[in-house]
Amino acid sequence: MHSYDSEYAIETENISKVFRRLSSHTTLKKAFIDLITFNKNKQVKMLKFTALENVSFKVKKGETFGIIGPNGAGKSTLLKILCGIMKPTTGRIAVNGSLSALLELGTGFHPELTGRENILINGLILGLSKKEIMAKYDEIIEFSGVKDFIDEPIKTYSSGMQIRLSFSVAVNVNPDVLVLDEVLAVGDAEFQAKSRKRIEEFINGGRTVLLVSHDKKSILDYCSEAMLLYKGNVVATGQTRDVVEKYEEIEQVNFNG
């Protein structure tokens, strides 16, 4: 399916995304009034919002690429488009190889099911095969540190335990390209150290990683190259240090103005 040069894991060209929504409080009554009156000032309006504008970038194979930007910059929208969850309004995307995404921890978790049952469901949703999950059950349970409660419904878990369990499943995904959305810092200090080590294994394992964050430190720590998104536009691309500096400039301007 991919006729692209194999040097790049991800290539995007001029991605734009415009959201269209009816104005809130749209009712049938207002729509009806609009229909029968010739008033130019319609009550039901189509609102447009440009979340991304002409975003182009390339990620080399094996690279850890960071996307940074303040809240509302369009980071999550871009990720969803890259994963194929959302369709861009215009533009092209090519991903070379298999792709997994950790956009959220514990997708598909059900409070009434046991830890063990939830590991299976969550793992399958993340794209692991039945075989892989079966082979790694013990490791996942061990890593999560909730071994004693693994056959209890997870509604009895503390929220910290639930997050640790979901993280332990998530770190087992094994794609060519991994998309990570600010799921790095979870759990207490001890668990964070453990998970940090695991993420470094990920990154050093020759895999392409796309890391999205508004946290400058994790981008600086892990990424060789980065891109700064601001109000849907690419403001800077290149060496992580330069991009982060640019981000700090924008923050300063916003803070003072």
H-type helices in the chain, by residue range?
28-36, 75-83, 115-125, 130-144, 159-170, 189-204, 216-222, 240-256
- Residue 110 contacts other proteins per CB under 8 A: yes
Minimum Å distance from CB 101 to other proteins? 6
- Residue 219 contacts other proteins per CB under 8 A: no
List 55, 68, 99, 170, residue binding other proteins (CB under 8 A): 99
Q: What's the rounded Cα separation, in Å, for the pair 19 and 200? A: 36
- Residue 18 contacts other proteins per CB under 8 A: no
CB atoms within 10 A of CB 247: 23
Residue 29: partners with Cβ closer than 8 Å, 6 or more residues away = none
Q: What's the rounded Cα separation, in Å, for the pair 112 and 16? A: 41
Q: How far, in Å, are 119, 196, 214, 248 from residue 229 at the CA level?
A: 35, 25, 10, 13
Q: What's the rounded Cα separation, in Å, for the pair 54 and 36? A: 40
- Residue 93 contacts other proteins per CB under 8 A: yes
Minimum Å distance from CB 104 to other proteins? 4
Q: Is 77 exposed, middle or buried (0-12, 13-18, 19+ CB in 10 A)?
A: buried
Minimum Å distance from CB 197 to other proteins? 26
Number of residues interacting with other proteins: please give it, by CB under 8 A: 37
List 108, 116, 161, 198, residue binding other proteins (CB under 8 A): 108
Site string for other proteins, 25-64 (x = CB under 8 A): ----------------------------------------
CB closer to other proteins out of 95 and 227: 95
Positions 113 through 142 that interact with other proteins (CB under 8 A): 113, 117, 120-121, 124-127, 130
Minimum Å distance from CB 181 to other proteins? 8
- 64-68/208-213 β-pairing: parallel
- Residue 19 contacts other proteins per CB under 8 A: yes
Return the range that interacts with other proteins (CB under 8 A); candidates 63-71, 75-83, 163-171, 211-219: 75-83
List 75, 80, 164, 216, residue binding other proteins (CB under 8 A): 80
